[in-house]
């Protein structure tokens, strides 16, 4: 079980920007490649006031920001240069900040403008070689009202307009760390069994619209992780959905949100996914939490620990860009 993909966290949302330009991003893709990453996943193309590309749809929803740089174009170009796949994320929260308490009505509005966004992205970047699939950006945890529809409608639409490009989602376990992470004090923790009931129902409906699922692995206790992952992987198999793990490279146990994770924890989670029969890992995310160029020095050290452990002949010092 290795990390073969990473999210790209722009629009950065609750994680401080690295403030990189094209040169720094190029250096970072080079470092990703050295570590074995072959796909990048743009986590969202826009969120509330900010956007990654010069959308003509979003201004119609009252958003006045214009990005100084087309990040989707930049990331596609770098993915092409380094022979990677790129999944492009949809738009999140055009009229409501993310977090707890989304209703089916909220999701309906998200679907509506996202159809326009998806069509626009297809028109602008559909011809690009590295554009491999779609990331449906909304993060959910259970069979809550509107969830199935959210993924069925966006998944079906994005596949239809793009010649059936695969779609990916990354939900989270409603585990013991979920309530605090979501700021939702009354969140019901789902046991492994309850989780299985919810996702059996969801997977049965979204199969065909969603091709790959990669659960975030950070909301349950370390010694429960294999059990949650294994039942998820079995259910995904049952419905023909490919199951990866989103091996989070940030640490959820620290007093501030978020530093790079301790190597011991990251290794434990990799081994847990392997024990659950999962074959590939993606991570949220390389550039802040595993990169030699991260603003956090311990990220470059995590890169080294990972490479040394798996006998990958790369060292952080050879991938640093001095800006």
Q: How far is the CB of 169 from its own copies (least distance, A)?
A: 24
Q: Is 311 near its own copies (CB under 8 A)?
A: no
Among 17, 164, 191, 204, binds its own copies (CB under 8 A): 17
Q: Is 12 near its own copies (CB under 8 A)?
A: yes
Gap between the Cα atoms of 83 and 71, Å rounded: 18
Cβ-based nearer residue to its own copies, 242 or 262? 262
Give the residues across from 207 on adjacent strands: 210
Q: Is 285 near its own copies (CB under 8 A)?
A: no
Question: Considering only residues 65-84, where is the footprint of its own copies by CB under 8 A?
Answer: 65, 67-68
Determine contact, residues 299/261, Cβ cutoff 8 Å. no
Gap between the Cα atoms of 114 and 69, Å rounded: 22
Tokens 């995310």 found at = 285
Among 168, 227, 302, 314, binds its own copies (CB under 8 A): 302
Determine contact, residues 291/301, Cβ cutoff 8 Å. no
Q: Is 297 near its own copies (CB under 8 A)?
A: yes
Q: Is 267 near its own copies (CB under 8 A)?
A: yes
Phi, psi torsion values for 88, nearest 5 degrees: -105, 130
Cβ-based nearer residue to its own copies, 133 or 260? 260
Give the residues across from 51 on adjacent strands: 46
Q: Is 229 near its own copies (CB under 8 A)?
A: no
Question: Considering only residues 165-224, where is the footprint of its own copies by CB under 8 A?
Answer: 221-223
Cβ-based nearer residue to its own copies, 199 or 306? 306
Q: Is 57 near its own copies (CB under 8 A)?
A: no
Q: Is 59 near its own copies (CB under 8 A)?
A: no
319: tokens are 């991938």
Gap between the Cα atoms of 47 and 322, Å rounded: 30
Q: Is 61 near its own copies (CB under 8 A)?
A: no
Q: How far is the CB of 107 from its own copies (least distance, A)?
A: 24
Determine contact, residues 233/199, Cβ cutoff 8 Å. no
Measured CA angle at 23 (ends 303, 168), to 5 deg: 60
Q: 20-43: b or e for each residue (b if 16 or more CB lie within 10 Å)?
A: beeeebbbbbbbbbbbebbbbbbb
Q: Is 296 near its own copies (CB under 8 A)?
A: yes
Q: Is 313 near its own copies (CB under 8 A)?
A: no
Nearest to 249 by CA among 235, 259, 239: 259
Number of residues that bind its own copies (CB under 8 A): 51
270: tokens are 């990799």
Helix/strand/coil for 45 = coil
Q: Is 251 near its own copies (CB under 8 A)?
A: yes
Q: Is 261 near its own copies (CB under 8 A)?
A: yes
Q: Is 16 near its own copies (CB under 8 A)?
A: yes
Q: Is 317 near its own copies (CB under 8 A)?
A: yes
Binding site for its own copies (CB under 8 A): 12, 14-21, 24, 49-50, 64-65, 67-68, 221-223, 251, 254-264, 267-268, 294-302, 304-305, 308-309, 315-317, 322-323
């Amino acid at each position: 079980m290795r990390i073969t993909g990473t999210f790209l966290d722009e629009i950065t949302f609750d994680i401080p920007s690295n403030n990189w330009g094209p040169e720094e991003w190029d250096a970072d893709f080079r470092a990703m490649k050295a570590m074995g990453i072959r796909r990048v996943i743009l986590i969202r193309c826009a969120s509330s006031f900010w956007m990654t590309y010069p959308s003509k749809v979003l201004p119609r929803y009252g958003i006045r920001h214009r990005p100084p740089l087309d990040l989707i174009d930049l990331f596609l170009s770098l993915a092409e240069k380094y022979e990677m796949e790129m999944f492009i994320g949809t738009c999140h929260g055009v009229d409501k900040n993310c977090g707890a308490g989304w209703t089916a009505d909220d999701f309906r509005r998200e679907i509506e403008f996202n159809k326009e966004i998806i069509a626009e992205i297809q028109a602008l970047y559909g011809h690009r070689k590295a554009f491999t699939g779609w990331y449906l950006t909304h993060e959910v945890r259970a069979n809550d009202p509107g969830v199935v529809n959210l993924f069925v409608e966006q998944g079906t639409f994005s596949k239809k307009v793009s010649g059936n490009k695969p779609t990916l989602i990354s939900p989270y376990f409603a585990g013991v760390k979920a309530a605090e992470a979501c700021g939702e004090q009354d969140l019901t923790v789902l046991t492994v069994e309850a989780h299985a009931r919810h996702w059996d129902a969801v997977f049965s409906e979204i199969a065909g619209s969603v091709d790959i699922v990669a659960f975030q692995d950070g909301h349950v206790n370390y010694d429960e992780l294999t059990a949650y992952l294994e039942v998820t992987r079995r259910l995904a198999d049952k419905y023909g959905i490919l199951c990866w793990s989103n091996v989070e490279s940030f640490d959820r146990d620290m007093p501030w949100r978020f530093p790079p994770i301790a190597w011991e924890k990251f290794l434990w989670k990799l081994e847990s996914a392997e024990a659950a029969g999962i074959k590939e890992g993606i991570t949220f995310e390389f550039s802040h939490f595993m990169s030699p160029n991260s603003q956090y020095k311990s990220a470059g050290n995590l890169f080294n620990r990972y490479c040394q452990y798996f006998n990958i002949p790369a060292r952080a010092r050879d991938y640093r860009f001095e800006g």
